Structure 1
Amino acid sequence: MPATRSAAVVVLAALLAGCSGGPEQPTSAQAPAESPAPPPPDSVTLVATGDVLVHQGRALTTGARTPDGSYDFAGVFAPVAGLIGAADLAVCHLETPVAADGGPYRGYPSFAVQPEIVDALAGAGYDLCSTASNHSLDDGFDGLTRTLDALEAAGIRSTGTYRTEEASAEPTIVDLDGVRVGHVAATFGLNGVPLPAGREWSVDVADLPDVEGVLAAAARARAAGADVVVASLHCCVEYDNDPTPAQVAAVRTLLASPDVDLVLGHHAHVVQPFERIGDEWVAYGLGNHLAEHATRGYPTEDSVAARFTFTRGADGRFTVSKAEAVPLRIEIGADAVRVVPADPESSARIAAVLDRRGAVAAGLEVVPG
């Protein structure tokens, strides 16, 4: 074909293609680009509360029992659900194992409680619970696994007790839109109940002030990518508003580690002080979040929600930028129990305890619920 004719054919083909009306096929360079993932937040807020125990035969179980024989505890936490649900991460401490549906149920001194309490915790907005306590094995290893099953079914993560040895070595980390928070937990004892033979890994136990096991767990969480690591410590003396020397020593050892950013305390059943140590914080004892102690003369209905905001610094590390305490009160009626914002008298009493180790001067804000 002559060169002039060949060129004409090419020109004609181009003109026809331009008049065809069909859509132009995008090249790979023209294809729409995928939207980049949003960057992780610069700050996250954690709310943590105290011991959850369901004592039997008292106002709580009387009021929560339904006509079909089951239990509904949703109303217990309803007054504080806004506080809990507003947090990026809400952490509870489930101190006791749950029984099978329908029971039998037991209270103090060896607990096996209504599993419906887990549904109420989930409904209030809790994301994560520590489960290592002196009552972890009150209903044996079966009770321990049943409790973990109930939490998992309700969508609540847990740490401190485990079904398998493999699980005991796997860090508990919650991803908050790109900010990863690790949680480790341990108890100072099990009320004399031995760890199950061959399952010594089932509960994290720390012989205070030795916290080597807790530090090892925190290091695993950090190595797995946790930006923030929180340690929950269940100890030491009940009904004492001040931490023991062993408790203080354990906390200082934990916070001296680069792998621990915050310590939360449980077990005393009364509120204990907050303290800033360096640029980190400890809440030595959050009191009860739900309980009906028969013990009188102690402020076991006083409670507190700890709220810590972690902010990313220029070095990429997250530290506490705001420390807050919200005084709460367990309101016990004739046939109902509710967790409510504390009244002025209770708030003043709780605030005085929180400040016994200089927390307010160090930046703690005591705020209404």
Structure 2
Amino acid sequence: MKRLYVRLFLILFILFSSAANPQGKTEEDNRNGKALLAFTGDLMCHSPQFEYAKTDSGYDFTPYYEYIRSELSYADLTIGNLETVLSGREMKFSGYPDFNSPDEYALALKEAGFDFLVTANNHSLDRGEKGLLRTLDVLKGQGIGSTGTYSSQTDRDSLRILKINGIFFALLNYTYGTNGKPVPKGKDYLINLIDKKLIQKDILKAKELKADIIIVLYHYGQEYKREPDNYQKQVNDWAREAGADVIIGSHPHVLQPAVFLADSSGLTRKFTAYSLGNFFSNQQWRYSDAGAVLYLSFEKNAERATLTTADFLPTWVFKGDIDGKRTYRILPSTASGCEHQYGFLSKSQRAAFRRSYEDSREILTRFDRKIGVFPMRNCSH
């Protein structure tokens, strides 16, 4: 189901780079359409994650995704939160607290099915401006789109508006901060910080450019808290009142609830997922070892584009031995009823795997029982 969009993205990047002269939609652009977008939470790279991936010639992260690749590639567009930087070997690879990951990490994400990454988070400046800029270069080299951090003011002012099956999606990304690392003087364009006026300005520009759906991706909230705080709710209100249709959060490293809301007209459904948790990390304790793939379905008719369904596929991160080698695997926790199919799981891991599904389902639907969660598979031995 995956569609090639990179070439089109580059065209739109040029067409929509100036709000002063937006391109009018053609009759073709107003036709009916359907699109499925997938989102994941935090893509971390702690030291064991790259140490276990080391090979004689470099690093290979691709096996980590072997059991989740088809679920990522199923959507028309798959988006993740890159919470590390790719600053190069000369800066030395490291995990927490100042991340720097091998370039092969991006290659594995591309091969796993990721098309687009948001890059504004508290680790964006872990290796300074050079690290931030090099990360963008590496992603571009892999054909992965991005937003949230930028190489110039012109780049910053060029909203990422992607056309997927006739529907125009604006993707906006902001972070609460950068772990106390200052943004270089005179270069505020490097990273989007959460700012009410900036968010409102960007959403207004997206509207002027005729985006059908505006998606805001925030990096915010309190780590390891399984419910949103008042700050998250406040900045969500800023975006929603300005016209955002979908708000998706990251940073807490655990899942938080999701909810549908109606807009002021009552005709269009708005959606918020406060946190998608850890999609891939070394945090192996309960709740932080779990994440989700969020699938959002959209339909467009002659009048408007709307969100039709929101469904979660809970995931769980295995860390252990396979064929005598320390490694990781990201598993769909809907398969926890089929744990016998994963012979590398220990008894305690099988229990954690199954428990993570129940935890995730309860958290994600806590605020809204209409939220869809894929059912556990019914497997026979």
Aligned to 1:337: 328
Aligned to 1:277: 261
RMSD between aligned residues? 1.9
Question: Would you say the 8 A contact 1:185–1:232 is kept in 2?
Answer: yes
Shift of 1:43: 1.4
Give secondary structure in 2 for the equivalent of 1:96: coil
- How far apart in 2 are the matches of 1:328 and 1:55? 18
- Count of residue correspondences: 321
Partner residue of 1:346?
356
Q: Which runs of 4+ in 1 moved over 4 A?
A: 36-41
The TM-score normalised by the length of structure 2 is 0.80
Query: Which one of 106, 113, 118 corresponds to residue 130 of structure 1?
Result: 118
Give the 3-state SS of the residue equivalent to 2:68 in structure 1: helix
* Aligned counterparts of 2:257 and 2:115: Cα–Cα separation in 1: 25
Relative to structure 1, the CA distance from residue 40 to residue 87 in structure 2 (aligned partners, 3 Å threshold; closer, same or farther) is farther
Alignment of 1:318-337 (within 5 A): 318-334=305-321, 335-337=326-328
Alignment of 1:170-319 (within 5 A): 170-207=158-195, 211-258=196-243, 260-278=244-262, 279-293=269-283, 296=285, 298-313=286-301, 315=303, 317-319=304-306
3-state DSSP of counterpart to 1:333: strand
After TM superposition, list the pairs within 5 Å mapping 1:4-83 onto structure 2.
40-56=31-47, 58=48, 60-68=49-57, 70-83=58-71
For 1:365, the equivalent position in structure 2 comes to 372
The CA deviation at 1:187 is: 0.2
1:26-47 CA-to-partner distances (Å, cap 9, x unmatched) read: xxxxxxxxxx979855211110
Normalised by the length of structure 1, the TM-score is 0.83
Q: Percent identity?
A: 29
Three-state SS of the structure 2 residue aligned to 1:336 is: strand
Segment drifting more, 277-286 vs 40-49: 40-49
Is contact 1:141–1:196 with CA below 8 Å preserved after alignment? yes
Larger radius of gyration: 1
Alpha-carbon distance between aligned partners in 2 of 1:46 and 1:218, rounded to the nearest angstrom? 20
For the pair 1:120 / 2:127, whether they are aligned, the reply is no
Contact kept in structure 1, 2:87 and 2:132, CA below 8 Å: no
Alignment CA distance shift 1:64-1:187 (3 Å) = same
After superposition, the Cα gap between the structure-2 partners of 1:82 and 1:39, relative to the gap in structure 1 and judged at 3 Å, is farther
- Partners of 2:115 and 2:201 lie apart in 1 by 24
Deviations 1:307-331 (A, max 9, x none): 110112452x111111101111111
Question: 1:336, CA displacement in angstroms?
Answer: 0.7
Aligned residues of 1:62 and 1:336 also touching (Cα < 8 A): no
Question: Which of 221-230 and 91-100 deviates more?
Answer: 221-230
Structure 2: 5+ residue runs without aligned partners? 1-26, 263-268, 337-353, 377-381
Q: Indicate conservation of the 8 Å contact 2:293/2:313, yes or no.
A: yes
Distance 2:273 2:151 in 1: 29
In structure 2, how many angstroms separate the alpha carbons of the residues matched to 1:252 and 1:313?
27
Q: Contact 1:79–1:338 at 8 Å: present in 2 too?
A: yes
| Rounded Cα–Cα distance in structure 1 between residues aligned with 2:203 and 2:327 | 39
Partner of 2:67: helix, strand, or coil? Answer: helix
User: How far has the Cα of 1:62 moved from its partner?
Assistant: 3.1
Q: Which residue of 1 aligns with 2:4?
A: none
User: For each residue in 1:189-221, what CA deviation from the matched residue of structure 2 results, as whole angstroms up to 9, or x when unmatched?
Assistant: 1111111111111100015xxx33122222222
Q: Distance in 1 between matches of 2:375 and 2:327?
A: 23
Residues 59-110 of structure 1: per-residue CA shift (max 9 Å, x gap): x223311112x11111112211111111111111101111214651011111
Contact preservation (8 Å) 1:327, 1:368 = no
Kindly tell me: are residues 337 and 368 of structure 1, through their superposed partners in 2, closer, same or farther at Cα, counting changes over 3 Å?
farther
Closer/same/farther in 2, CA of residues 81 and 157 from structure 1, 3 Å limit: same
Q: Which moved more, 1:227-236 or 1:216-225?
A: 216-225
Change in CA separation of 1:216 and 1:350 when aligned onto 2, cut-off 3 Å: same
**In the alignment, residue 34 of structure 2 is paired with which amino acid?**
S
Letter in 2 for 1:340: L
Quote the offset at 1:153 in angstroms.
Answer: 0.7
Q: Which runs of 5+ in 1 are unaligned?
A: 1-35
Give the match for residue 164 of structure 1: 152
Query: Does residue 152 of structure 1 match 2:140?
Result: yes
